[in-house]
Amino acid sequence: MKGTADACIILYLSRHLYGNMIFLLLLFLLVLFRGIPFPENILPVGVTMERYAIMITIIAIPVALKLFADRLKKISCPRKAIEAGKKYKKIYFMRLYTLSTVTLMNITLFGFSRNSNFMWFTIVLFIIFLFCRPSLAELTNLWELPDSDPGQQIMHESQKPLEDE
């Protein structure tokens, strides 16, 4: 039963990821080939705005990935399967939407400025999306007991403090 629920959660998150990627990719292609006309003179993207946008992108990528990994490690194991699924979905969506927001910012700035830096950052972000697929192994590790070696249990038992004689 738990395996089926986990598979449904992973399928839901995978559909969400690929739907998000397809939407952003179609938007990017429409902007790239001028299917959506952006007025290039209304919002001039200066050097300062370009630097801040690049800085936001460079900071947001590792922060989103590291935050997901840290929050996943901080979840106490084992948890109930339903609760573990909810926690996993929450931190997964935080990572996905952080990267999606930065991607959307780069697509929009590329549309307004036609600066190739924003185009390349968008392509890099699409590659990063491919590494953000939901993992069934990560989800099941949240509610299953970790496998332990019998040798480690013996070592822990032998490390008990000695009583005063």
Q: What is the mean pLDDT of residues 16-26?
A: 96
Residue 9 structure tokens: 């959660």
- Provide the pLDDT for residue 104: 97
Determine what percent of the chain is predicted with pLDDT higher than 70: 82
pLDDT in tens, 98-127: 999 999 999 999 998 888 999 999 999 999
Q: In the chain, where are the structural domains located?
A: 2-145
Q: Distance between CA atoms of 2 and 140, rounded to whole angstroms?
A: 9
Give the H or E element holding residue 42.
none
pLDDT in tens, 60-73: 999 999 999 999 88
Least confident of 62-66, 73-77, 137-141: 73-77
